[in-house]
Amino acid sequence: MLKVPWLRVLRELHRRQTLVAVAEALSYSTSAVSQQLRQLEKDIGVALVEPVGRRLALTPQGRILAEHAEVILAQIKHAEADVLASTGQPRGSVTVAGFQSAALTLIPRMIIDLNERYPAVNVVFRQGEPRETIPALLSADVDVVITESYPGVPIQQLPGITITHLMSDPLWLTMASSVADRLDGSQDLIGQLKTEGWAVENANTPPRTWVTNQCRRAGFEPRIVCTSEDLAVQANFVASGHAVALLPGLALTGQHRDLRQFSAGGRPEVRNVLAAHRDTGRSESAVDEVVRSLKLVAEGM
């Protein structure tokens, strides 16, 4: 009989292409992944994988079974959700993924709220940036993703994904007092920072694109001295006077009270903090309550 864990391994190999990536996704060792694939092949009686260069690839029969595994695993998840929903009370495990500033602010408050109202809902959190978490949502590795959109860099609309606006998070031009004291408040502030070092996120991300565009509008390319997706690291560089940065308000909660903050571009700008989850067309009460709780705590920030 085909076993669910074996099918899950085959599905992940179909998606991720390498044993190492499958092992990381499922928290297995690579030898355990290989062993389960061998057991599945023995059980079904045909070769499902074959060596191609230095990696394993699915055979035509492996691809057929992997496609069926997608359907089978989705049906199992729906069955679990329907059974739990029939109790009339939200219950079950919900995996939430999101970026760092959400992990530090929204997630703890959301868990407290759910524990008080729906103690049978268990939240598992996974930190990650949208380029990692959105694919995980699409592949059903996670149930809810906290993501973001920046001015002029809208979030991609994906079929089958429901987006809920949680909050508008103000974006602040942030610097040490020693830098701020040199600026002329009657002039464009960003334009006066062309000789300063900048702390930014990784290339080809919406925050980095937005910061770069702000600097280009002011007539210069930012001189980057710190690249980090850890916004606390950026804030530390700013506090030391070695960099300036454009940081969201959630990232500044409880951080360096001596940092000076100004409206980016001289006018209020915000990033939109969003919750994304799959639209299954079924009752997913635990997922729904997680999204509602996130909305509730975000509105109270």
Amino acid at residue number 251 = A
Q: How far apart are CA 144 and CA 127, in angstroms?
A: 12
Q: How far apart are CA 1 and CA 180, in angstroms?
A: 69
What distances in angstroms separate CA 262 from CA 120, 185, 246, one per listed residue?
43, 10, 9
Judged against a pLDDT cut of 60, whether residue 283 lies above it is answered with no
Pick the CATH number of 92-301 from 2.40.30.10, 3.40.190.290, 3.20.20.70, 3.30.465.10: 3.40.190.290
Pick the CATH number of 4-83 from 1.10.40.30, 3.40.640.10, 1.20.140.10, 1.10.10.10: 1.10.10.10
* Confidence at 135, pLDDT banded by 50, 70, 90: confident
What distances in angstroms separate CA 267 from CA 172, 173, 270, one per listed residue?
10, 11, 10
Which value, to the nearest 10 degrees, does the dihedral of the CA atoms of residues 214, 215, 221, 225 take?
-100
Judged against a pLDDT cut of 60, whether residue 8 lies above it is answered with yes
When pLDDT is averaged across residues 224-239 and rounded to a whole number, the result is 94
* Confidence at 198, pLDDT banded by 50, 70, 90: very high
Q: Give the predicted TM-score (pTM) of the model.
A: 0.76
Q: Strands 245-248 and 161-175, how do they pair?
A: antiparallel
* Confidence at 80, pLDDT banded by 50, 70, 90: confident
The yes-or-no answer to whether 4-83 and 92-301 have a common fold is: no
Q: How far apart are CA 15 and CA 22, in angstroms?
A: 9
When pLDDT is averaged across residues 37-55 and rounded to a whole number, the result is 87
When pLDDT is averaged across residues 143-164 and rounded to a whole number, the result is 89
Judged against a pLDDT cut of 70, whether residue 282 lies above it is answered with no
* Confidence at 241, pLDDT banded by 50, 70, 90: very high
Residue ranges per domain, the chain? Answer: 4-83, 92-301
Structure tokens at 113: 């709220």
Asked which of 11-15, 210-214, 290-294, 295-299 is least confident by mean pLDDT, the reply is: 11-15
